[in-house]
Structure formats: C-alpha cells, structure tokens
Amino acid sequence: WTVEPSDSNAASGQDVTLHCQADGYPLPTIMWRKAVGDQPGEYKDFLYEPNVNYFRNGSLEFLHISKESEGYYLCEAKNDIGSGVSKVIFLKVNAPAYFPQKAKQMQVEKGEQAHLQCNALGDNPIEIM
C-alpha cells in the first residue's frame, strides 16, 4: 500500500473521502466494493452511484453523505501479477441531533398550564437542555 484504506467517520450531510492507493508494476487497478447487507463477506461492485466520485488514484469521494452510505467497503488493488492486496474498512455515518418539527406556536389562558414538548432525533447520545 502507498495509502492504506482505514475506517472513517462522517456526519450526515458532510463530504468524506476514502483513500486507497497501491504501487506495483504494472500499475495496479483499484476497485471499491460495498458489502451487501450490514456485515462484511459478500460485496457488490461500487460504480456510478449518485453523489459519489471515483478518482483514478483510488480515492472514493462521497458528497453530502447520507446514512444509506454507511457500511463495510472493500478496496482491492490488482495488476494480474500475484494475488493483489485488499482491505475491508467501515464507514460510519453519524446523524447529528435535529428537531423534526420546527417552531410551533401555542396559546394558553393566563393561569392555565401549558405542556411543552421538545423532541430531537439523531444518533445517541442526545441531550436536551
């Protein structure tokens, strides 16, 4: 490896790049594959997905990443000489806290009780103050 792939974390909506580079003669071909399901083992070719750029140097760039991109990825470098090299990495996509409902106006009579709700979604831990 000239740049060995490694696990990565990103917040939903961010851009993230996975790197994978190998050297050899002839120059190896780099191929990314994504695990089928949520466990490593069976992989599908990862080509021409929306919001994903594949670069000649082996980097895989996700634009405005979403939770659907989370999972195991396999990077393979082969040049038909020997067996090549491969590595499995995990891409974790974190969902930041957000409010599913925007501001809501309430009216209450003076002296009456009001019940206020504050619901937030995202990956744990979420703390509402």
CATH fit for domain 8-94, picks 1.25.40.10, 1.10.10.10, 2.40.50.140, 2.60.40.10: 2.60.40.10
Q: What is the mean pLDDT of residues 54-74?
A: 95
Give the pLDDT band (50/70/90) at residue 126: confident
Is residue 46 predicted with pLDDT exceeding 80? no
What was the pLDDT predicted at 52? 94
For the chain, what is the mean pLDDT?
92
What letters, b where the CB count within 10 A reaches 16 and e where it falls short, cover 70-79? bbbbbbbbbe
CA proximity to 126, closest of 97, 103, 83, 101: 97
Q: Please give the residue that has the higher pLDDT: either 59 or 104.
A: 59
Handedness of CA 95, 101, 103, 109 (dihedral sign): negative
Domain residue spans of the chain: 8-94
- The β-bridge partners of 86 are 76
The pLDDT tens digits of the residues spanning 74-117 come to: 999 999 998 999 999 999 999 988 888 888 888 999 999 998 88
Average pLDDT estimate for 20-43: 93
Higher-scoring residue by pLDDT: 104, 6: 6
**Confidence at 21, pLDDT banded by 50, 70, 90:** very high
